[in-house]
């Protein structure tokens, strides 16, 4: 069965620091990959997605992610975080031929002003 | 532009009571999902429906039932609520194999 691992459970950064959140998935076939953000008290919103093509994808609010097929990874990055990026971040995967969207356990990011 | 609408937003149940969480989407999506969110456990899939008339179990289906009433609506039923079902429940919909759009969530407390 497919699964998603997010190894960083809690991350604390100061404003302007760089961010990288890890995401690894277990399925060996072709997948579609997503990063979502959940601000306190809100529902999940899509940050970015990868289906095919350029493995470096850019999303909203200055976020980007790199798909490395050989490492089964889809890490999220941002060069300079802001206090407003304080949120929980979820990686998700679905098989390109499948129907089940699976999420990781999430990474809670706190950015100190 | 409603998107995914969940009702109710909050609910308190006594152990053993039943209830149905409603979800409707107006984006003509084929796939619909029910997740529960608990601290430190991310979103766990309860049930999903790839198309009207089909439903499948996710990771944590025990204690729940679902109905895909039509393409728009996907309801989640708790037949006999237990304290372990205290959680935040999210409904989502998506075109097949594409990104999901989420409802605002239902905060359920079982006492």
Provide the 8-state DSSP code for A70. Answer: G
Average pLDDT of A49-54? 94
Instruction: Please give, rounded to a whole number of angstroms, the shortest distance from the CA of A7 to a CA of chain B.
Output: 12
Task: Check CB contact under 8 Å for B97 and A45.
Answer: no
Q: How far apart are CA B85 and CA A79, in angstroms?
A: 39
Q: What is the mean pLDDT of each run of 10 residues along chain B (111 residues)?
A: 90 97 96 94 93 93 96 97 97 90 96 97
Task: Give residue B1's pLDDT.
Answer: 62
Query: A92 to chain B: which residues are within 8 Å by CB?
Result: 100
Q: How far apart are CA B13 and CA B4, in angstroms?
A: 24
Please indicate whether residue B98 or residue A109 has the higher confidence score (pLDDT).
A109
Instruction: Please give, rounded to a whole number of angstroms, the shortest distance from the CA of A79 to a CA of chain B.
Output: 25
Q: Is B74 on the interface with A (CB under 8 A)?
A: no
Q: How far apart are CA B92 and CA B100, in angstroms?
A: 6
Q: How far apart are CA B63 and CA B15, in angstroms?
A: 12
Task: Give residue A63's pLDDT.
Answer: 97
Q: Which residue of chain B is at minimal alpha-carbon distance from A88? A: B42
Q: Quick check: A72 pLDDT over 90?
A: yes
> What are B57's strand-pairing partners?
B47
Instruction: Write the pLDDT tens digit of every residue in A10-21.
Output: 999 999 999 999
Burial of A95 (0-12, 13-18, 19+ CB in 10 A): middle
Q: How far apart are CA A111 and CA B68, in angstroms?
A: 41
């Amino acid at each position: 069965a497919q699964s998603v691992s997010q190894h960083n459970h809690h991350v604390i950064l100061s404003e302007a620091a760089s961010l990288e959140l890890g995401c690894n998935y277990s399925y060996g076939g072709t997948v579609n990959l997503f990063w979502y953000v959940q601000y306190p008290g809100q529902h999940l919103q899509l940050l970015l997605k990868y289906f095919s093509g350029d493995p470096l994808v850019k999303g909203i609010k200055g976020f980007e992610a790199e798909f490395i097929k050989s490492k089964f990874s889809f890490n999220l990055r941002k060069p300079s975080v802001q206090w407003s990026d304080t949120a929980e971040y979820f990686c998700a995967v679905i098989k390109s031929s499948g129907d089940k969207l699976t999420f990781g356990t999430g990474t809670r990011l706190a950015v100190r002003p | 532009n409603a998107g995914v609408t969940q009702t109710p937003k909050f609910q308190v149940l006594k152990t053993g009571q039943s209830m149905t969480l409603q979800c409707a989407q107006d984006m003509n999506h084929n796939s619909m999902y029910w997740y529960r969110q608990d601290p430190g456990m991310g979103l766990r899939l309860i049930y999903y429906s790839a198309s009207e008339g089909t439903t499948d179990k996710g990771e944590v289906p025990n204690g729940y039932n679902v109905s895909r009433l039509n393409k728009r609506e996907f309801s989640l039923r708790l037949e006999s609520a237990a304290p372990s079902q205290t959680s935040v429940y999210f409904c989502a919909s998506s075109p097949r194999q594409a990104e999901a759009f989420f409802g605002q969530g239902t905060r359920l407390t079982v006492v």
